[in-house]
Amino acid sequence: MSQGKTIDEALTNVKEAIKGWLKVEEKHGKLDVNESTEMFLGEVIV
């Protein structure tokens, strides 16, 4: 979950949140960055 005072700030923060989530998934062996993986990450509400 993320937010920002402007749309640009919110988008930047969302990208950082996704990167952090991906690192945790990789660390716990739930994601292989060398594989082509398609997954649903959530939803965006504006």
Q: How far apart are CA 32 and CA 18, in angstroms?
A: 15
Read off the amino acid at residue 1.
Answer: M
- The pLDDT value recorded for residue 46 is 63
- The pLDDT value recorded for residue 40 is 65
**Contact call for residues 20 and 43 (beta carbons, < 8 A):** no
Task: Indicate the pTM of the whole model.
Answer: 0.66
Q: Which domain holds residue 18?
A: 1-46
Q: How far apart are CA 23 and CA 18, in angstroms?
A: 9
Residue 44, φ and ψ in degrees, nearest 5? -120, 130
- The pLDDT value recorded for residue 26 is 85
Quote the tokens at residue 13. Answer: 């923060």
- Total domain count, the chain: 1
Question: pLDDT per position in the chain (46 positions), as tens?
Answer: 788 999 899 989 989 988 898 889 889 888 776 776 676 667 766 6
What H or E segment, with its residue span, contains residue 17?
helix 7-27
